[in-house]
Structure 1
């Protein structure tokens, strides 16, 4: 899901984020490693799967880690599974807004490769959660 989050940015031209970026506090202690980082802008994008809130210990560790990153001057955007379900365009726009960037048009071939409709036409298994496909079918049928 972290990759799908990254690809939501890639679809609108955000291709320069650092993956698995480590942040250290003033004392040199590790604050944490984060999924996606705009290092220059001091912005982090974190995908939180279900285990991040189902397991209390993990949830508390995440809160402390995100608070420490914010206290160190970083802004944080948290993305959940539901942000992907039939809402890839909205997520892409949310990422652009968070990063303070404008949409960049991709070369046609790159855009085609990132388009789920194209991938499904090749009989490839989609990387999107199954719930996303149900939402798309309902929208297509007008429900």
Structure 2
């Protein structure tokens, strides 16, 4: 799903702002590794799969890591599979807003959006 998230952001012209799998540090040391990071725009996009909510240790680790990233001045956006699969425009708009970046129109043909096929 991380790849799908990146492809979704690319479709809206936002992937260029991000670097994949970035390790961040602060004055206290290593904060953690993050899925997509725009250091220039101080924005992190994380895709949270099911293990991020079902594994208690992973959940606690995520909370600490994301809190430290926020304390270091990053805006953190957490996306779930349903967000990326069923609400890509809303996800992209949320990310664009955090980046203060323009949102490119999605290059889909109208027929593809018609639920009747």
- Which segments of 5 or more consecutive residues in structure 2 lack a partner in the other structure? none
- Pairing of 1:99-114 with structure 2 (within 5 A): 99-104=99-104, 111=107
Tell me the C-alpha RMSD between the 2 structures. 2.1
Partner Cα separation in structure 1 for residue 85 and residue 9 of structure 2? 15
8 Å contact kept, 1:47–1:80: yes
TM-score for the superposition, normalised by structure 2? 0.84
Residue 32 of structure 2: aligned partner: 32
Residue 115 of structure 2: aligned partner: 140
SS of match in other structure, 1:101: coil
Q: Report the count of equivalent residues.
A: 112
* Cα offset, 1:25, TM superposition: 1.6
* Cα offset, 1:52, TM superposition: 0.3
Larger strand share, 1 or 2: 2
Task: Go from structure 1 to structure 2 and tell me whether the alpha carbon gap of 1:9 and 1:40 turns closer, same or farther (over 3 Å shift).
Answer: same
8 Å contact kept, 1:20–1:36: yes
- Pairing of 1:87-106 with structure 2 (within 5 A): 87-104=87-104
Residue 80 of structure 2: aligned partner: 80
